[in-house]
């Protein structure tokens, strides 16, 4: 498959993932506010085994292309990149939500301090992603066999890890998917290559998977509460890991099917800008939810969650478009030169070397 087509399905898979991520927060936050549940709660319930694992698996697919770089370049691109956006947006969200909206500036200082060691709210994804990349680099430098790292990561996922903070919990639960994406990237690409020209095989395979995944999630009992879920058999240790990996591959195959149609380019565009949506959806989601609740035009949890979801997905893209048009606020989604490690591509020193000042 051509590299362009390969990237098309990867971006489409990211698009599916970011919609599911925002859907979770939209459904849960609206459910908590209304005290009820809606149809999106059941959509998210179905996707619970693979919603975040797929995001991490996709994030690991291209790690092999950079894992051999020198430490400075690797850390700059795969660690510093994510920590910059985490620090920036954690500061923005805490100041706006806690200091301004809640009117508790003193409490905001406490949140900012804790955010250094314990990821703030939904930003935990990019926080732990930085440490996943660092883990893979250390394992590569120490020549630890892939099978050993996979076994270690799988054991962490299955074990009932309950650390002193969310960072350890998230690290333990999701490392396996990132590392599996890194190690099995060639096999995953070959699998998608095989399916991408066989739409009937895709539909049949996805049909069987959907039935099995749904049965294991909703049986023997699925509890959808306003702000969280309790799955059936899918929650069992070990089985949950298998369902997550299979579900992540199912999303990749679904993306291969969608990437065949130009009408689905909007989904690919969302995937290309998934980091923009991920960083900025929280504020428009919260604001739109409060406005709609006060207006009382939509009272049912399901439709209200859907409207909030749509606003939360589109608003960051509008903001991104405005930034590109005006040139103001580029630091929100593009790491500035000063935030790079000196001497690495994109840094101030690298730019100085590339464009030397003429001698006087």
CB 124 within 8 A of CB 167: yes
- The DSSP letter of residue 224 is E
- Averaged over 145-152, what is the pLDDT? 98
- The DSSP letter of residue 65 is G
- Averaged over 238-261, what is the pLDDT? 95
CB 2 within 8 A of CB 261: no
pLDDT of residue 5 exceeding 70, the answer is no
Instruction: Look at residue 143 in the predicted model and tell me its pLDDT.
Output: 97
- Averaged over 305-318, what is the pLDDT? 98
CB 272 within 8 A of CB 317: no
Instruction: Look at residue 168 in the predicted model and tell me its pLDDT.
Output: 92
Instruction: Look at residue 60 in the predicted model and tell me its pLDDT.
Output: 96
pLDDT of residue 233 exceeding 80, the answer is yes
- H/E element holding 223? strand 223-225
Instruction: Look at residue 357 in the predicted model and tell me its pLDDT.
Output: 37
Instruction: Look at residue 182 in the predicted model and tell me its pLDDT.
Output: 98
Give CA 19 to chain center in angstroms: 10
Instruction: Look at residue 260 in the predicted model and tell me its pLDDT.
Output: 87
- Residue 229's SS3 state is strand
pLDDT of residue 3 exceeding 80, the answer is no
- Residue 230's SS3 state is strand
- Residue 290's SS3 state is helix
Q: What angle do CA 254, 45, 204 make, to 5 degrees?
A: 30
Instruction: Look at residue 308 in the predicted model and tell me its pLDDT.
Output: 98
Q: Name 338's Cβ contacts closer than 8 Å, sequence gap at least 6.
A: 347, 348
- Sorting pLDDT into bands at 50, 70 and 90, what band is 340? very high
- Is this prediction's pTM over 0.85? yes
Instruction: Look at residue 353 in the predicted model and tell me its pLDDT.
Output: 58
In SS3 terms, 306-321 reads as HHHHHHHHHHHHHHHH
- Sorting pLDDT into bands at 50, 70 and 90, what band is 352? low
Percentage with pLDDT > 90 across the chain: 82
- Averaged over 327-355, what is the pLDDT? 86
Give CA 343 to chain center in angstroms: 29
- Residue 228's SS3 state is strand
- Sorting pLDDT into bands at 50, 70 and 90, what band is 355? very low
Q: Name 176's Cβ contacts closer than 8 Å, sequence gap at least 6.
A: 150, 153, 154, 156, 157, 241
Peptide bond into 220 cis (omega under 30): yes
Question: What is the per-residue burial (b if ≥16 Cβ within 10 Å, else e) of 134-145?
Answer: ebbbebbeeeee
Instruction: Look at residue 358 in the predicted model and tell me its pLDDT.
Output: 38
CB 312 within 8 A of CB 26: yes
Class of residue 54 by CB neighbours under 10 A (exposed 0-12, middle 13-18, buried 19+): buried
pLDDT, tens only, 274-283: 999 999 999 9
Token duo for residue 286: 């919260």
- Averaged over 23-38, what is the pLDDT? 95
Class of residue 6 by CB neighbours under 10 A (exposed 0-12, middle 13-18, buried 19+): middle
Nearest alpha-carbon partner for 304 in 18, 15, 16, 29: 29
Torsion of CA 81, 13, 263, 303, to 10 degrees: -90
Nearest alpha-carbon partner for 280 in 232, 248, 306, 319: 319
Q: Which of 101-110, 170-179, 230-239, 335-344 has the lowest mean pLDDT?
A: 101-110
- Averaged over 84-103, what is the pLDDT? 93
Instruction: Look at residue 164 in the predicted model and tell me its pLDDT.
Output: 76
């Amino acid at each position: 498959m051509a590299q362009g087509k390969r990237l098309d399905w990867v971006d489409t898979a990211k698009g599916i993932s970011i919609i599911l991520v925002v859907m979770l927060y939209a459904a849960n936050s609206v459910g908590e506010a209304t005290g009820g549940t809606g149809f999106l709660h059941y959509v998210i319930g179905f996707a619970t085994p693979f919603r975040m694992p797929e995001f991490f698996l996709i994030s690991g697919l291209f790690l092999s292309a950079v894992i051999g770089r020198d430490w400075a370049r690797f850390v700059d691109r795969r660690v510093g990149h994510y920590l910059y956006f985490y620090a920036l947006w954690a500061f923005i969200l805490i100041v706006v939500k806690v200091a301004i909206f809640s009117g508790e500036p003193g409490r905001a200082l406490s949140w900012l301090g804790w955010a250094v060691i314990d990821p703030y709210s939904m930003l935990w994804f990019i926080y732990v992603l930085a440490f996943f990349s660092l883990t893979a680099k250390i394992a590569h430098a120490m020549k630890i066999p892939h099978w050993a790292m996979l076994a270690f990561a799988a054991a962490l996922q299955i074990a009932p890890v309950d650390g002193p903070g969310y960072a350890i919990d998230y690290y333990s639960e999701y490392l396996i998917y990132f590392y599996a994406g890194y190690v099995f990237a060639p096999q995953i690409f070959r699998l998608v290559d095989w399916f991408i020209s066989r739409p009937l095989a895709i539909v049949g395979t996805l049909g069987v998977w959907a039935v099995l995944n749904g049965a294991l999630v909703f049986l023997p009992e699925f509890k959808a509460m306003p702000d969280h879920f309790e799955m059936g058999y899918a929650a069992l240790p070990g089985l949950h890991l298998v369902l997550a990996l299979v579900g992540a591959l199912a999303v990749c195959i679904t993306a291969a099917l969608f990437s065949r149609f130009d009408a689905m380019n909007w989904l690919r565009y969302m995937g290309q800008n998934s980091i923009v949506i991920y960083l900025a959806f929280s504020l428009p989601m919260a604001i739109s939810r409060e406005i709609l609740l006060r207006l009382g035009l939509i009272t049912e949890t399901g439709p209200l969650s859907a409207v909030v979801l749509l606003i939360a997905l589109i608003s960051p893209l509008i903001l991104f478009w405005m930034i590109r048009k005006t040139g103001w606020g580029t630091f929100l989604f593009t790491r500035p030169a000063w935030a790079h490690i000196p001497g690495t591509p994109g840094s101030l020193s690298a730019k100085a070397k590339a464009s030397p000042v003429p001698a006087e």
